[in-house]
Homo-oligomer: A and B are copies of this chain.
């Protein structure tokens, strides 16, 4: 006998939590589909060469091998650590079969050996959308990614969230315009501002003049305190042609989002969002739950000039975003308690009375299922009716139907609503309607 314990930093759900996870997945997927992102899946297992093509800390990667048949140093297959690298590989592999612009969604699990931290799992769901186009990718793609994520997160209808959005070239040209030389290092410091109390000594370490440091501090202050419109105005006053060009782009994304009915309070232009050192990105964004910005973000994304540079000589500009689904569910559960009000997807339990009535019960069950009502017949007729009701109650099944000999003669059923414990006599051919209207 093997005592079973959960494996550390892996998760699985009891039925009540799984029902919530399924609902989240369905809402996200539906919104991705509404915007024309076609479903895509790739294997969990990829070649070593594919996954190492982008930099990654390989202490976080799981290798896969045949037991006792392969030595670990001959392992050529790994578990994917994200959905973007497999997507880049897929686009390059099928570049002559796909039609561009190509818009896809992928809601699947990824695997990372994460250091033990709250809400970090070693096998977890990501829900990605991506747009890729050979040659040139219109800026409207950024709008589509952001508005689609907004629609999905809005329909999940949890606490408010805010999209922090930036155009990284804007930050780069801002730093150029104030004569910063070590741009990459400076961006890295600005990106850390949430975690480090004072960034001044770090900036001074880069031999930046006091005036420049003050300029940067002013930027951070305006970024944190100003509204999106104030920020756009702040940048408008900076004399730098390149900066003005990228400002126009950010402005285009922002105003189109408003035209797609994204609420003004849900977008914040935030020039300090930079997501790491990489120079080759334009749009970057992170989405935080309002009042919980100190937690990890629940969604993020960015644009690259060339997604597939490691796999093909053709140029594929790309923009994509990801909802951190597993993390979102656990964070929500902690700060808000997700409502878990069902332990099964069953809508109706038909009580199993005795064998002579079985045929009629089956006919009823079949008709309910035919009308898209999830229906269970209790599995045996030896269990007392009170116990069958208790079973329905424990699983929070909304309705119970009782049809004894008397009801059968009269062509009726007893329909019980478990929430209120009310009971109705309903004609058998009206029971579907009655359930759908309750």
Interface, chain A (partner B; CB < 8 A): 1-7, 10-15, 18-19, 21-22, 33-47, 49-50, 53, 58-59, 61-72, 75, 77-79, 89-90, 92-94, 97-99, 101, 103-104, 109, 111, 113, 122-123, 131, 133, 137-138, 140-141, 144, 151, 256, 259-261, 310-313, 343-346, 352, 358-359, 362-363, 365-366, 369, 372-377, 379-380, 382, 391, 394-395
Q: How far is the CA of A311 from the CA of B104 in the complex (A)?
A: 42
Q: Which residue of B lies closest to A346 (CB)?
A: B36
Considering only CB atoms, which chain B residue lies closest to A40 in the complex?
A: B18
Residues of the B chain whose Cβ atoms lie less than 8 Å from the Cβ of A140: 352, 377, 379-380
Smallest CB–CB gap between A393 and chain B, Å? 10
Can you name the residue of chain B whose Cβ is closest to the Cβ of A89? B4
Instruction: Pick from B69, B113, B362, B382: contact of A66, CB below 8 A.
Output: B113
Known: A89-B4, A103-B376. A68 touches B64 (CB 8 A): no
Residues A67 and B77 in contact in the complex (CB < 8 Å), given A35-B376, A379-B101: no
Please give me the residue from chain B that is nearest to A105 by CB atom. B345
Q: A38-B345, A101-B379 provided; 16 other pairs, C-beta below 8 A?
A: A4-B50, A10-B43, A13-B41, A14-B98, A19-B39, A37-B345, A39-B345, A59-B67, A61-B66, A62-B66, A63-B66, A67-B75, A103-B344, A140-B380, A256-B358, A260-B365
A64 to B36, CA, bound (A): 36
Q: Which of B14, B64, B359 contacts A62 (CB 8 A)?
A: B64
Q: How far is the CB of A247 from chain B (nearest CB, A)?
A: 18
On whether the beta carbons of A34 and B68 are closer than 8 Å, the reply is no
A50 B2 Cβ-Cβ under 8 A = yes
Residue of B nearest to A349 (CB): B36
Tell me which residues across on chain B come within 8 A of A391, comparing CB atoms: 99, 101
User: How distant is A255 from chain B, measured CB to nearest CB, in Å?
Assistant: 9
- Indicate if the CB atoms of A97 and B14 lie closer than 8 Å: yes
Q: Which B residues are in CB contact (< 8 Å) with A7?
A: 43, 45-47, 77
A111: which B residues are within 8 A, CB to CB?
Answer: 44-45
Query: Which residues of chain B are within 8 angstroms of A3 by Cβ–Cβ distance?
Result: 311
Q: For A38, give its contact among B344, B369, B373, B394 (CB under 8 Å).
A: B344
- The answer for the CA separation of A352 and B139 in the assembled complex, in Å, is 13
Q: Which of B109, B311, B345, B394 contacts A44 (CB 8 A)?
A: B109
B contact residues around A122 at 8 Å (CB): 45
C-alpha spacing A98/B394, complex, angstroms? 10
**Closest 9 A-B residue pairs measured CB to CB?**
A138-B380, A36-B376, A36-B346, A4-B93, A138-B379, A72-B72, A38-B344, A34-B369, A10-B43
CA distance in complex: A275, B313 (Å): 52
Instruction: Report whether B53 and A310 are in contact in the complex, using a CB–CB cutoff of 8 Å.
Output: no
Among B4, B311, B362, B372, point to the contact of A259 (Cβ < 8 A).
Answer: B362
Q: Contacts of A90 on B, CB cut-off 8 Å?
A: 12
Complex: chain B residue closest to A70, CB-CB? B72
Which chain B residues lie closer than 8 Å to A38 at the CB level?
Answer: 15, 18-19, 343-346
Interface centre among A4, A14, A365 (most CB of B within 10 A): A4
**Chain B residues with CB under 8 A of A68:** 58-59
A22 partner residues in chain B, CB cutoff 8 A: 39
A355 to nearest B CB, angstroms? 10
Candidates B58, B89, B97, B375; contact of A34 at CB < 8 Å? B375
In the assembled complex, the Cα of A163 lies from the Cα of B75 at a distance in Å of 42
The CA of A131 and the CA of B122, in the complex, are separated in Å by: 30
Shortest beta-carbon distance from A111 to chain B in Å:
7
**Does the CB pair B2–A310 fall under 8 Å?**
yes
What is the bound-complex CA distance between A19 and B122, given in angstroms?
29
Q: With a CB–CB cut-off of 8 A, which chain B residues contact A69?
A: 59
How many Å lie between the Cα of A21 and that of B18 in the bound state?
A: 22
With A4-B92, A35-B369 known as contacts, the answer to whether A44 contacts B395 (CB < 8 A) is: no
The interface residues of chain B lying within 8 Å CB-to-CB of A64 are 62-64, 79
> Measured between C-beta atoms, what is the minimum distance from A143 to chain B in Å?
9
Q: Which residue of B lies closest to A61 (CB)?
A: B67
